[in-house]
Amino acid sequence: GRALAGSGDEVYAPIGQLLAHWMKEIARQFPEDLRVLKELGGLIPKLPAITQAAQCTLCGFCAQVCPTHALLIRETQNETTLVLKEAACIRCGKCERICETQALTMQPAVKDFNSSSGLIALRQSSRVECRGCGEPMVSQAEFNFVTAQIGHPTWLDYCLDCRVLVMERSL
């Protein structure tokens, strides 16, 4: 509740305030239940995870709907990566609901990941290069998804700049 309250999100922040207040009240009314919960190790927080990498198309919708920008798409010349900033995640589940392929799900958090930066790479894919100029276009994962949907027309192998030239030559 406190994480939601501090998120700054116009919808989730007030809900977080109510939830935090409610949990305090429950703890005050039922201290024995709280003691048992602490003995059991507490609630295990859930974080976004990709359980089957082949299903993730790296479309980026999950990153777009994340109210705290805990999920982001990072692109280098050679690779596209879906990254989670664990500390920024408020566990709202918007990312899970937007994922059309159900590749991203909320899973119990792994407590001992090896990342000094607090960043977790959830999915990585190489990038497809334009057949005309050699510049990177999209991730291989996204390219594979699109070709599975529409087939593999020749123009798809070219960036937007080269595509125009290829199309003009074929006229």
**pLDDT score of 112:** 47
Residue 126 bridge partners (DSSP): 79
Give 55-107 as a DSSP string: G-----HHHHH-TT--EEEEE-SSEEEEEEEGGG-----HHHHH-TTS-EEEE
Would the pTM count as exceeding 0.75?
no
Higher-confidence residue of 122 and 167: namely 122
- Would you state the pLDDT for residue 3? 78
Average confidence score pLDDT of the chain:
87
SS (H, E, C) 30-44: CHHHHHHHHHCCCCC
What gap in Å lies between CA 69 and CA 52, rounded to an integer? 23
12-29 and 31-39 helices cross at what angle (nearest 10)? Answer: 100
Question: Do the Cβ atoms of 120 and 93 come closer than 8 Å?
Answer: no
Q: What's residue 156's pLDDT?
A: 94
Q: 45-86 pLDDT, tens per residue?
A: 789 999 889 999 999 999 999 999 999 999 999 999 999 999
**Which SS3 state, helix, strand or coil, does residue 117 take?**
coil
Confidence at 166, pLDDT banded by 50, 70, 90:
confident
C-beta atoms surrounding 164 within 10 Å: 12
Percent above pLDDT 70 for the chain = 87
* Between 102 and 109, residue with greater pLDDT: 102
**Phi and psi (nearest 5°) for 14?**
-65, -35
85 φ/ψ sector (left φ>0, alpha ψ -120 to 50, else beta): beta
